[in-house]
C-alpha cells in the first residue's frame, strides 16, 4: 500500500491538514483494487502496478475537478486489467 508521505508527495500537498482524507482514500483504493482485480491487499504491496494504480486513483478521487478524468480512468482501467491477470498468480 502507498504510504501517506508518498501520497502527499504524489498529490503535491504540503502539510498534514488533509491526512485523514488521504488516508481514507488510500484505504478505499486498496479495497477497490482488491474488489476489481482479486489482488489481496497484502499482495498489493509487492506489485508496482498496484502502487501506480493507487496513485492514479488518488489523483482522480482527490482532484476530480482538476484531473483529466477520462484519460485517467482509461489508464486506471488498463492497470486494473493487468492486475487482474497478475492476481491469478497469487491464487494458483
> For the segment 29-40, what is each residue's pLDDT rounded down to a tens digit?
999 999 999 999
Q: Which residue has the higher pLDDT, 91 or 15?
A: 15
At residue 67 the predicted structure's pLDDT band, cuts being 50, 70 and 90, is low
The DSSP 8-state label assigned to residue 2 in this structure reads -
- Domain ranges for the chain: 4-91
Cβ-contact 54, 26 below 8 angstroms: yes
57 with 26: CB under 8 angstroms? Answer: no
Residue-level pLDDT at 22: 97
Joined together, the cell numbers standing for residue 83 give 492486475
Contacts of 23 (CB under 8 A, 6+ apart): 4
pTM of this structure: 0.88
pLDDT at 89: 87
Q: What is the pLDDT of residue 8?
A: 97
- Residue 43: per-residue pLDDT: 94
Q: How far, CA to CA in Å, does 44 sit from each of 19, 24, 54, 55?
A: 21, 17, 10, 13
Amino acid at each position: 500500500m502507498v504510504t501517506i508521505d508518498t501520497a502527499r508527495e504524489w498529490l503535491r500537498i504540503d502539510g498534514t491538514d488533509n491526512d485523514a482524507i488521504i488516508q481514507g482514500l488510500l484505504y478505499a483504493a486498496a479495497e477497490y483494487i482488491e474488489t476489481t482485480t482479486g489482488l489481496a491487499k497484502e499482495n498489493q504491496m509487492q506489485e508496482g502496478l498496484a502502487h501506480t494504480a493507487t496513485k492514479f486513483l488518488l489523483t482522480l478521487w482527490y482532484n476530480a475537478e482538476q484531473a483529466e478524468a477520462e484519460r485517467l480512468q482509461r489508464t486506471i482501467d488498463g492497470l486494473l486489467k493487468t492486475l487482474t491477470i497478475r492476481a491469478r498468480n497469487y491464487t494458483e
